[in-house]
Structure formats: structure tokens, C-alpha cells
Chains A and B, each alone.
Chain A
Amino acid sequence: MRHTIAVLVENKPGVLARVAGLFRRRGFNIESLAVGTTEREDLSRMTIVVSGDDFVLEQVMKQLNKLIEVIKVSDVSKNSVERELVLIKVAANPQNRGEIIEIASIFRGRIVDVARDSFVIEVTGDEDKINAFIDLMRQYGIKEVARTGKISMQRGSKALQV
């Protein structure tokens, strides 16, 4: 079972190491982790995807809450908008360029760089969509993939705030 947790933390050096260390020490598995600043410059938001049953989820959330610099922890696995961004560098030649552009546009991707024999394509979406797109690109020859990891926000007016 996979869970997505949103964590509001103080924007201070060492906080990421503390969170990552906690996961390692307690034997929790991080599948992805994304961090960025928020509307307040003293706060950062982490989105962590963790695998495990409900018991593991409960422990993860409780242990995170014990960290002094962690301000709020919320399970955002359900009823959420989830997005990930990927940059893919894919090999291209005059014969398949058109095809690649077409597939990218079906995925609402954007060609953000064009070279003589490659494209860099940007795609956003949920994990399944990104995986599907990467799979489709394999046939052309993927040179590089960079994914941000998932970020997530619950639908509706309720907000994760201090």
C-alpha cells in the first residue's frame, strides 16, 4: 500500500537530513520525496510517498510529528490532485520526429529543447501518465530522464496551514 504524506517543515538547514534520517532509522521506505518552499518563506513543504500498511503510515506520521522542526503532517493519499513533472531527453531522427511530437502532444507535453538528433520533452501529470509516456518513448531511445517526484494537494477549500 502506498501513501502520500504532505509535511510542513521549518525552512532551515538540516531539516531534510533529519526527515530522511528518520525514515532510514525506523526502516520506513521512501518511494519519492519532493521539497519546495511555500507561500511563507520560513516554511517548506515536503511530499513523501511511503509504502507500507496502515500501521506503518501511523508510525511514520507520529514519528515525523515528533521532529521539532516539523509543523504539520497530513495524509493526502485520497481526494487529492497529484502531479509529477518529468523531463525526458529522447533520441530523434528526421523519420520519427513527427511521430514523437504527435505522441508528446497527446500527452499534453511540450518540446522544450530541440537538437539535431534529440528532443527534451516536458510532461506533467500523475504517475501513471508519466510512466505511460516514458514507456512510449523507449522505442525511440531514451537518453535521460529526470523526475521531480510527486507533489500533492487535497481538493476543496481546506488547506494545510499553520
Chain B
Amino acid sequence: MRAADAIVKALEKEGVKHIFGIPGGAIIEVYDALFDSEIRHILTRHEQAAVHAADGYARATGKTGVAFATSGPGATNTVTGIATAYMDSSPVVVMTGQVARSLIGNDAFQEADIAGITMPITKHNYLVTDEKQLLKIIKEAFHIASTGRPGPVLIDLPKDVTLADIEFDYPEKVDLMGYKPKYVGHPRQIKRAAELIMQAERPVIMAGGGVILSNATEELTKLAETIPAYVVTSLMGKGAIPETHPLSLGFVGMHGAKYANYAVQESDLIIAVGIRFSDRSTGRLSSFAPYAKVIHIDVDPAEIGKNVRVDVPIVGDAKLILRELIRFIQYKQRKEWEEKVEGWRKAYPLRYRKDDERVKPQYVIEKIYELQPDAIVTTEVGQNQMWAAQYFKVHYPRQFITSGGLGTMGFGFPAAMGAKVAFPEKTVVDIAGDGSFLMNIQELATCVDFGIAVKVVILNNMFLGMVRQWQELFYDERYSATCLRCKEMSFEKIAEGFGAIGMTVERPSEVEDTLKEAFEIDDAPVIMDFRVDRLENVYPMVPAGAALNEIIDKEV
């Protein structure tokens, strides 16, 4: 069998239903094989978007996303997509074409050492040098991408390998000497954790993306209720507990609510689950939760003790460990703590100044939440992302899809495409800024071409808003290179030019009706250009390098 046909057959065996990508000379054989397959190929207009779409697909479904690109520039265009998936532990398999083996190293046309380039941003990668290893490698790649702490895996396919004649003997099992993720938590450590929890007077659970990856949201919620403990999440952990739950304090960190940050700082026990204590979540590490002991549950042992000193480390799968842990916990009322936190919650709600004249970005998001609380929401990066995180209350896992670790502008739109392809019956909204949306705007063509009816809400302030906010607060309002002056530019017309539907909103009174109208359209992508208050800032804010309780806020 032609190796290219074997590749497609292997993907079918792995249960792949959708592939995002762009063909080219080095991968043309695989595309030829794909022509006869049931697998649906979505032709994106840029390889970066193909990987983001595969990543969005993976985050929305929990299944491994797949992207294709050709050699050279096709492959290098995938780099940002791969790094994004790597930082957020998203299972993605990227297959790239490569020049023929005899040409590798010759600086051949469209040759780039993509395996070398992506070494530090993949969980693992392969250059297939022997066609007899091809199927074993594909099997391993899907296994590695989706197990343990998930992550992207790249397979580089020299063109002559894809042309070779091979036997289709797809392996059933994977045996990797150096890769055996540990899932079951150490029983003694679990008991020690339970003891600490029972002793704690002010326990707080910090939940990260790992809770969602291990499908442990039910267990996490149950643990919180059993103790009881308040829950804060990282940005990646949004959805680990319904944010409407009375014990949820939303997300923590630089733009988290004050009550979430205060709770962490005042706690005497942090129960960290599937979270890696990024600087955006902890603030200044030396002042982080000064009174707290720390229990850290994570499937990746390298995360434990990396940033924060840990008293009880538990390596393993969050779901399995939480299930065990709950057995040792008895409910214990902690009235004083409860009153304290509820006091903060009441005193310091998330808020913004309402306005009848100018469209407030927070208001737009509140309205989206009101109209479509079940929508899958993706975001770009910057102010749009933080407002979305603050004002859209996520109530189920995999509902909120955002580039947390790498902070990739241009992620949200193609990720929304991926989510919509996975769940065509669901409303999928990309909450965008004007700067971010421009970074993958070409995907409008893909959406129109394939009838991917995502909704894009552009909070258009004609600025690189988050950078502008920093310049306002920390650089004496010296707005160096952050103004995207394009009053004459119309996203509405651009959308129409691509064959999508465009809308422009300038007044608060039009917000709700426009959203309603857009949400009723389910056969075409809709781009809504909300001309928002240009100088609106995201508050509260913990400046970079400050402690979590050193918060800047503005009177409303």
C-alpha cells in the first residue's frame, strides 16, 4: 500500500473525523490519499489557523485535533499554533510534508528543519526516516499527544516516505520505555492531604486546566462542597466548577476579582489541582499566600515544586486522586472564614461604569451571557480576553477556550472554527479585539467556504488595548505604537467582501438587538463590530510583579 494511503487509513483508525490544513508539494501524496477518505478536510487559509482550529477542536471535544501543512513555509507557519497548544497542554497532532530524504540538508526548495525548530514547543516530535517505522510513529504520536499531560506532537513526513510501498499493519499497542505516565495518586500522600484539609480553617481550592483535561469537574465540585472550600481557578481552569456555584470565586490573578485574590492571600491551605502556578495567577511569588500550606495535585511531576513550595505533592490524574481524597473528608463548617469571604464578595464585586452614550465592552459581554449562557466562548488575547473571563460566567467544562499560556492574539477566531466544526449545533462566539481579529482575519474565507457559522464579537477600540492600558498606567500615557487608527476601516464591509455577514454597533441601545439578530443566523459567519469606549480599562488589576492583594482599582 502507498504510505500516503496508509497514513490516511491510520488516521481513520485513530477515529479522526476532521483535519485542518493546507496542501503543498511535499504533502501532496497524503492529500491525494485523503481525497477518497471519509475524513472531512477543512481548508484553512493559513497554516497557523489550521493548528489553532485543530487546537480549538481538541479543547472543545477532548479528542485529539489534527492539522496538516506542507514543508518549509507551510511548516514554519504552524509554529505559533504548536507553541500555543504546548503551553496550554492541548492534544494536537501536526503532520508536515518534508522534502525527500535524499534532499534533506541540501537547502532544497521549501525545506525547513521543522523537527529541529519545534523541539522545544512539542511534547515530542518525529522525522520519519524509515517508512517501516511510519505506522508505529503515528500510533505513538496519538498516544503521546492525548495521555499524561497532553500536548502537541509533530510528525515530519519526507515526500519519498509518503510514496513508499508499505504493509498496513497498524500497531494495537504502544510500548515506550521512557514514557509511562503515572495516574494513581500515592495513598499515603492522599491521606496526608486529607489531614491537612481537615485541620484547615481557611481552605481554598485552586483549579487549573488540568481539571478540565482530566474530566474531573464533577469530582472537584464535590470536593469543594464536601470540605467546604471556596474555589478559584486559573484562566485555563475556567469551567472546573460552574462559576454560578456559590463556592466559586471565579478566576484568580492579575485581573481576577478582588475577593478571589484576597481569599487566596488569606487562606491557610491551598489545594492546587492541575494548575501550574503561572506568574499571571500568583502575582509576586515571594508574597503568594503567605499563611498557606500547599497541596499540589498534578499529572506532571515537573510542575510540582517548580514555582511554589509544596507541602504535600501528589502526582497523578486529578479525577482519580480527587475521587480518593473525597472519601477521607468530612464536612466541617468554617463560619468565620465564610463570613469573611462573603464580606469581600459583597464589598468588591466586579463592576464598571454604565454609560448611555458609549458602548462599554463589559456590557456587550454581559449581554452575550444573558442571551447565550450555553454558548462556547473563545477569546483573543488582551482586554477582550480579560473582560470575557470576568463577565462571562462559564458553567460547564470546555465551554471557555482561550490562549492562556502563550497569549496568542489571533487564536480565538480559528479556535472558534474548530469548536464549531466539532459542535455545529452549538452557538460559538469569538470575543475579539480589533487588533487580534486582524491577525487571522483571512479565516473569514474558510468560514464562508465551509459554512462554519461562528459569531465574532469585535470589541473595537482601535487600540492594542491592553498594551495601551499599561502605557496609560505605567508609562505616563506615552502611547507608543498602540493606536490602530482606522476609523475608515469597516469590519462590516470586510465581512461582506468575504461573503460573510457584517454588523456595526455604535450605541449601547443597539447592542442587545444586534446580538439577538446575529444569534438567529445559523448558516453564515457573522462579524459584529462594536465600537466600544476606546479608553476603557480592565479592572481590578494586579500590576506585574506585585502581590495578589496589591490591587489597582478605579472608583465607579
Contact = CB atoms under 8 A, between A and B. Distances in A.
B178 A67 contact: yes
Contact of B177 (A55, A66, A71): A71
B302 A14 contact: no
A132 interface: no
B303 to A, nearest CB: 9
B347 interface: no
Contact of B301 (A9, A62, A67): A62
The A contact surface, by secondary structure, is helix
A25 B177 CA distance: 24
B516 interface: no
A68 B124 contact: yes
B449 to A, nearest CB: 37
Contact of B302 (A17, A25, A63, A70): A63
B305 A58 contact: yes
B300 interface: yes
A14 B179 CA distance: 17
Interface stretch (B112-120, B373-381, B423-431): B112-120
A162 B119 contact: no
Interface in B172-221: 176-179
Interface in A9-25: 9-10, 13-14, 17-18, 21-22, 25
Nearest to B126: A14
A70 B120 contact: no
A17 B127 CA distance: 14
B421 interface: no
Given A59-B306, A63-B302, A68-B124, A14 B115 contact: yes
A10 B177 contact: yes
Given A59-B306, A71-B178, A66 B300 contact: yes
Contacts of B179: 68
B120 A10 contact: no
Contacts of B301: 62, 65
Given A17-B119, A18-B119, A21-B119, A68 B176 contact: yes
Contact of A70 (B129, B144, B178, B305): B178
Contacts of A84: none
A127 interface: no
Interface string A63-97: 10111111100000000000000000000000000
Contact of A59 (B119, B176, B177, B302): B302
A70 to B, nearest CB: 5
Interface in B346-372: none
Contacts of A25: 120
Given A17-B119, A18-B119, A66 B302 contact: yes
A87 B5 CA distance: 54
Residues of B in contact with A, size category: 10 to 19
A109 B41 CA distance: 67
Interface in B86-138: 115-116, 119-120, 123-124, 127, 129
B297 to A, nearest CB: 16
Interface in A24-51: 25
Q: Name which of B129, B144, B176, B302 has the most chain A CB atoms within 10 A of its CB.
A: B302
A68 B154 CA distance: 13
Contacts of B116: 17
Given A21-B120, A25-B120, A66-B300, A162 B305 contact: no
Nearest to A25: B120
A8 B302 CA distance: 18
Interface string B282-316: 00000000000000000011100110000000000
Interface string A137-154: 000000000000000000
Contacts of A17: 116, 119
A84 B356 CA distance: 78
Contacts of B120: 21-22, 25
Nearest to B177: A71
Contacts of B302: 59, 62-63, 65-66
Contacts of B127: 14
Interface in B56-100: none
Query: Which of B116, B129, B178 has its CB near the most chain A CB atoms (within 10 A)?
Result: B178
Contacts of A21: 119-120
Given A58-B305, A63-B302, A69 B178 contact: yes
A67 B179 CA distance: 8
A22 B120 CA distance: 7
A18 B115 CA distance: 10
Q: Which 9 A-B pairs have the closest CB atoms?
A: A62-B302, A71-B178, A68-B124, A71-B177, A68-B179, A25-B120, A70-B178, A21-B119, A63-B302
18 contacts: A9-B178, A13-B129, A14-B115, A17-B116, A18-B119, A21-B120, A58-B305, A62-B301, A63-B302, A65-B302, A67-B178, A68-B176, A68-B178, A68-B179, A69-B178, A71-B177, A71-B178, A162-B177
Given A13-B129, A68-B123, A71-B177, 12 more contacts: A9-B178, A10-B178, A17-B119, A18-B119, A55-B305, A63-B302, A65-B302, A66-B302, A67-B178, A68-B176, A69-B178, A71-B178
Interface of B: 115-116, 119-120, 123-124, 127, 129, 144, 176-179, 300-302, 305-306
